[in-house]
Amino acid sequence: LAATLEAALAHAPELRLVPVPASACATDDRAMAGAAGANVVVRGAVHRAGTELRVTFVARDPVRALDLGGAVVDGSVMQPFDLEDRVAREAAKLLGSTTASAPRPTSDPAAAERLQRARAWLKRNDVDAMVLGAVQELEHLHAEAPADPEVMASLAVAYLYRYRETGERRWHADAARVCERAVEIAQYNMDVLIATGELALISGATERATQAFERAGRERPAVDAALGLARARMQAGSLDQAATHAVAACAAWPEDWRTHNLLGAIRYRQGEARAAAACWRRVVELVPDSSRGWRNLGSAQYRLGDFGGATCAYERALAIQPDARTYSNLATVLHYSGRADQAIAAFRKATELSPGEAVHWGNLGNACRWSPGREAEAPPALERAIALMRDQLARNPHDADGWARLAGWHANLGCAHEARMAIGRALALAPDDVACLMHAARVALVLGDTAQGLSRARDAVMRGYGVGELRNDPQFANLRANPEFLALLEWGRGGGESGHERSGRHGSQEEGREEEGREEEGRRQEGGG
């Protein structure tokens, strides 16, 4: 009977069945629903008297402990399939009424169809044309129905995608304005909650984002709420919790590429490059035209030491969509392959495509600093990177990666005090993040503290940071005869590069970074987002 109900309800558009975890308490509706991420619990019983059967069931709101409705279906053991079919029909009817969403402010079916089309485009937030098309459509809908909170919520999310892609503050301001208005009209609408969570997450308000996504998920299981919650956990540094949420999202929505993309980003930060590569291979299977999927796969291959595979993946990504992050990633491979001029050209291309992105200017400045004859080009690029990063940190002061990068740029300009202040802030925010530890190692080396540099590098490698690029990193050049450094490289080659790199960053010309937790989905990601 349970299997029949699951099969009958599996395709109901207003329903999503979620499995009950084995660890859930079967007698506690609230605990069980919370563990499963459900907002309705159905309990039933079968009674028999001779050949007669009676099936009773009730749907309950587990949070408020209220009965939402129930049904009684009588039948015979001689016709079990007929009984099952009638039970399934009654259950579908009951659950359809208890989970139906609130009426939309507009009853225009054409507008509703346009909204769904724009939302479908936003699911491909890895394609600029899709996001821009969604922005245009949603702006038209907003002009036609300025009090529709669902339109405003979707428009706010679309604006945030543009902000993550370009780094232009106007998109963030537009998102905040639209989201604020949506909250005034329907604060607890599920779509408004998701938009609120996205805005909080990109501003570094992780706890507020978590609360918004959790409440949205209680309203109705939805992939955007699940992914948002996983990204909030990742941004807070709770990678194991983030992975748990992402694994559950992959199981619930296996055909949605975004779930696998986010899980790949989390595995990458956990130091599991092979697992990340597997996730991103699934992404390019689901959406072969995803430049982000190919770029992320290239980052995993780079981390595993497969420079050739990484180069091919990045080139494929560029063939699909020329993108600043991909150029920056490719430049990193070229840099560590000894092709300095080509690397600088690719870094410069990244700054041309995304002039408001601090990381690309920093990467260019670092590359010039270590390239004979190009040293004079380094200071202007690094100063531009510092100015842009300060602006970003003013809006999100909890960005550990941003502070760590800022420290490196200050150190390369000889600003020792500023470098120490910034790296101290980064390590206070993320003391176990291997990327921050490696940034700290480089800062110490540039400032002349070899002992601390080696200590920080050892901590990063022991936690899983790969040592491949350290062999060619000019900031470690003076240590290549140091027995302690050589032992560290040997240890890393023997065990540390086998798939335990915790973070998606590497080298002084790192590829970029995640936002979001950027699935996710972020503006400065290298391997994940």
Alpha-carbon gap, residue 62 to 312, rounded angstroms: 51
Total-model pTM: 0.67
Q: How many C-beta atoms surround the C-beta of residue 180 within 10 A?
A: 13
Regarding predicted confidence, which is higher, 526 or 11?
11
pLDDT band at 408 (very low <50, low <70, confident <90, very high): very high
Q: Write the pLDDT tens digit of every residue in 310-366.
A: 999 999 999 998 888 899 999 988 887 888 889 999 999 999 988 988 999 999 999
Residue 66 has pLDDT above 90, yes or no: no
For helices 169-186 and 149-166, give the axis angle rounded to 10 degrees: 160
pLDDT of residue 493: 65
Which segments of 479-518 does DSSP mark as H helices, in order?
483-491
Q: Write the pLDDT tens digit of every residue in 372-385.
A: 888 999 999 999 99
User: Which of 316, 408, 317, 315 is closest to 361 using CA atoms?
Assistant: 408
Alpha-carbon gap, residue 436 to 510, rounded angstroms: 12
Q: What number is the average pLDDT over the span 153-180?
A: 91
Instruction: Calculate the alpha carbon distances from 513 to 16, 88, 261, 495, 509 in Å.
Output: 34, 48, 14, 25, 12
Sheet containing strand 41-49, strands side by side: 41-49, 52-61, 66-76
176: enclosing H helix or E strand: helix 169-186
Are the beta carbons of 311 and 298 closer than 8 angstroms?
yes
pLDDT of residue 505: 35
Task: State residue 49 phi and psi, 5-degree precision.
Answer: -135, 100
Q: Write the pLDDT tens digit of every residue in 474-527.
A: 788 888 888 888 888 888 665 544 333 333 333 333 333 333 333 333 333 333
Q: What number is the average pLDDT over the span 163-177?
A: 88
Bridge partners, residue 57, by sequence: 44, 71
Give SS3 for 256.
coil
